Each structure stands twice: as structure tokens, then as C-alpha cells.
Amino acid sequence: MTKMTQAGLSAIVISGCFLALPLAHAADDTGKGTGDERPGKVKTAIAKSLGKIRLDGDMLALLKAHEGLKPKAIEKIDVRAARANPTLADAVQALLRQNNRSTDPAQLTPGITSVDTTVQGAAGPLPARFYTPPGPGPFPVVVYFHGGGWVLADKQVYDASARAIAQQAQALVISVDYRRAPEARFPAAWDDALAAYRWTLANAAGSKGDASRVALAGESAGGNLALATAIAARDAGLQKPAHVLAIYPVTQSSLNTESYLENAAAQPLNRAMVQWFLDQLLEDKAQLKDWRLNLIDARLAGLPPVTLISARVDPLRSDSAKMEDALKKAEVLVERRDYEGVTHEFFGAAAVVEKARNAQAFAGERLRRAFGN
């Protein structure tokens, strides 16, 4: 993988037409050195044009609400500012308020209770949130890893996703705040993810969990962690996860796949942002070849069944397609569902996006089947 250059090209598909645009005026329209931290005007115009053509109305409304919160371009700012940037979860809240609807999680996802606690990571305790469905249990368990490029976000940003999985799967969900880069660079998050899985196997019974039925799940960077943890658990001789749910996961390190080119200027995730994430994550570009970032080239035989969820307007869509192919080649049971008309981060937006509700129901059905429910 190389940094994008002004000589590079960004491929955009509009109404079935393939357009090549200089990255200086599209995905790499950074404006660095100008003092302007807002997304570039041309990039914004491209994203809006694509949205009107390719997105469902409710997804487009959510992106407009996000734009109204005036997010800065991640690739133009430092990590501290990026972590303070408004998220798509913030936009969901804003849209609910605009429509005089409740933002209370207890009303949006009835029956699920949550408590903040800690689990053991590779280098010490990690913040975590446990989501529990109603009833005495014991419940099957899902260890969940949030997204954010291994740099941003936390369990609160992805609260809606974890709650939905708990409700749809009727499972205890343990959402883990693994260590983030650049304070803890690669492979700290991967080490924490495996440690959290070990902890869950040993301790889930104390929280109404059934330690004999433990699955892994995650979104984006967290989807990568879920898949990588299943591989690491196999290699360490640990109990095989009952299932892996990977929602638009990172599965390879090239930024030149079909979907990266097609969605180079997409929102809320674009090609320049992914490069920025990798710059924060890695000490050495040689680490790009590590199997934990290139899961499609890892040894996959013997993994549990996998569910992949992808979004059509997402730079990471091809990552899911490539992972599906690699899993099938390794004779691992896999089912992928690709959702038209939505973008990266859509899964947690079920309060305002219909396809998110559909995807959550699909994920729940797959997990319930894996758990024998």
C-alpha cells in the first residue's frame, strides 16, 4: 500500500458510468497547509452527487444530518481532534431529536440492560460494557469489538450496535474497549481482543453467560479483530467460537480494490481516511503484510461459521467479498449479505435506517442459529 498522490486516480461510478478523477480533486482533496479542516469542496460535491443517485432516502437523510454537525476531515486533523469529531451515531441522535423521537436507548432497544465494568486485556484491565437480555439466563455470549480504524471511537459510539445484537440474538454481549493507536500501536488491539476472549471463556458464567456458547462480532476495524481472534484462538488451542459476525470488516491492506476506487470520495468513510488510520496504527509499513491485516491470506481452515455484512457504498465492500471467497476456498461455512443503498456505519443506525433494521435482524438470526436457539 502506498500513500495517495496527486498523480493518482480515483474511480467513481455514477449511474453505471465509470469516471476517473484526479485524487487531488477527489479522495485526496485534503487542503493540507491551508488551515481549512473541513472536507474539500470537490470531495463534498462528489459525495453528495453519489448519495443522491445511490443511497436510500433514509440513509441520505442521516448523512445530511451528519454534515449538519460540521465534521472535520479526519485526514486533515490530529488524533485528539479526530476523536472529538461528530460521529454517525451523533447524527442518529440529532435526526431523532429533529423528528421529536426519543433518544433513550431503553426505548430504542427495549428489554436490554447494560452495565459498565472491566475485562482483562493483554496489558491490564480494559473498559467494557455488558448488555443483557431479560430473563434468568444463562445466555449465549457475544464478544463484540467496535469500529473506528483502531484509532477512534469506543463502546459508547457503538452502543446501538451492541444493544441490537443483544436483543436480536438474545445473548449477553460484552463490548470491549481495546487499546487504540497511536498510543498503543499494532498489534496491541489484536492482543487485547484475544485476551478478552480468553477472559470471557473463564468468566462469562458469573454474568449470566453460557461459556460453552461464545461468539465473536465486530464492525469495521472491530470486524477485523473478530475474525483475527477466531484465527488466534484456533492457533492457541482455545475453545472454538460458536460463530463470527463481521460487519464491513477490514480484511486486506490494499487501497486499490474495486470498492476503494469506486467509493474513494464516499462518506462517512473514504479512502484518505483509511490511509490516515493506517498511518496512526503502524510503526513500519512492513507491518502491512502481517496476516492480521491481510486476513484473506491467512490460514483459515478450521474456523467456525462466519457471517459477513457489507454496504454497497463503502470502500470496504470488496474486503468482505474477498473474505467470502477466501473462506469458501478454505471450506469454512460463510454467508455474506450486501446491502444496497447504504454506507459504511449503517448497521448501528436502525433507529432511522430501514436497511440497518434488516441487517440487525439477519445478524441476530445467524447468531441464534449458531447458538442452537
- Given a contact cutoff of 8 angstroms between Cβ atoms, the answer to whether 55 and 66 are in contact is no
* Burial of residue 368, with CB atoms counted within 10 A of its CB: 0-12 exposed, 13-18 middle, 19 or more buried: middle
**Contact partners, residue 28, CB within 8 Å, separation at least 6:** 4, 5, 6, 8, 10, 271, 272
Q: Select from 347, 328, 297, 260 the least CA-distant residue to 23.
A: 260
Distance CA 323, CA 334 (A): 9
Q: What would the 3-class secondary structure string for 101-130 be?
A: CCCCHHHHCCCCEEEEEEEECCCCEEEEEE
Distance CA 258, CA 103 (A): 37
Cis peptide before 187 (omega within 30 of 0): yes
Q: Cell 457503538 sits at which residue?
A: 158
Active-site positions?
Answer: 220, 314, 344
